[in-house]
Amino acid sequence: MTDRAGEAYVRRYNQALKRLLTAKSGEPLHELSPEMGANITLEHDRPEWHALLDQVDWSTGAVQVAAAAANVGHIEVFNPVSSGLLVVVDTAIVLIPAASTYELQLDPAAAGTPTKNFPVDTRVKTAASQNRIANNVAGVSGVNIAEVQGVVGAQYAAFVFKPVILLPGHHLAIQENSRCDVATSLRGLVPRVRRGIDALLGVARDRGWSYRVTSVRRSYRVQARLFRNYSRYRRAGYSDAQIAQVAGLYHPAAPGRSMHQLGRAADIEFYPTSAQAEAGRIWQSMGGRWGGATDPVHFEA
């Protein structure tokens, strides 16, 4: 037995053919001429056909979410209840990520003020889908579809997921889970270590170095993920130097054994790069422990 496409489906593609060829007749278009039939390979619709099929290719564009202490950054795409359409999300990218966990959540708690997405086909005037951004969300919610760990210095972090189809009233959000998983504020350090790190950064400023604190206190969850990713590369035969280059991981400790979880360690990048080792030697002279060549950004006590 062979399934046949429904009449509405056939009419839709026939309408696309007629629009493309500017056919005026109200009759179905079965052929272009006696020598040429009208065929469409449905799995390979060309991008310029999408508008003819009443499909709108759209984007949120590059949207910035301002940081807010103790909250979760949030951007969502949603399909308004009254749209009468399906919205498909097939790509989600975080540009210039922080050292945070970014989660792709289906139907989290809605937040923010609606803003229209824009079509990426200049023949189309509007897109039905909208986006909302917020930085006052207390925590992540919804169904986790995918997640990615941001690496400081990377140009982007891309989610890997199958296209998500949103019925009217549903939404999909990227949530930066730094509030729950990673803290980059030195306030996360225990007082004794905080005083030492402040002194080290003071020396850096006196010498004209710049620096960036990339990680201070971590949750067990993040530490487990970092160690798991590191171990996977090691099993694949990568050296520590190669892992640092391709994944930005510097020999993370096993969960439960990391000084980051105790507020006794900070990861700090110093610039110029030649200052990194000098900062490590200064930290050691102050009685601290430095990660050395295998983990040059790591300072603990």
Residue-range domain boundaries for the chain: 7-53, 58-181, 184-300
Q: What is the pLDDT of residue 32?
A: 57
**Contact criterion met (CB below 8 Å) for 105 and 172:** yes
Q: What is the pLDDT of residue 2?
A: 38
Q: How far is Cα 57 from Cα 67, in angstroms, rounded to an integer?
A: 30
Q: What is the CATH number of domain 184-300?
A: 3.30.1380.10
Q: How far is Cα 3 from Cα 160, in angstroms, rounded to an integer?
A: 32
Q: What is the pLDDT of residue 78?
A: 93
Q: What is the pLDDT of residue 26?
A: 67
Question: Which residues, given as ranges, of the chain have pLDDT below 70?
Answer: 1-9, 26, 28-44, 66-71, 98-99, 151-153, 177-185, 246, 248
Per-residue model confidence as pLDDT tens digits over 114-168 = 899 999 999 998 998 999 988 777 777 889 888 787 766 677 888 888 899 999 9
pTM, rounded to two decimals: 0.52
Q: What is the pLDDT of residue 3?
A: 42
**Contact criterion met (CB below 8 Å) for 135 and 74:** yes
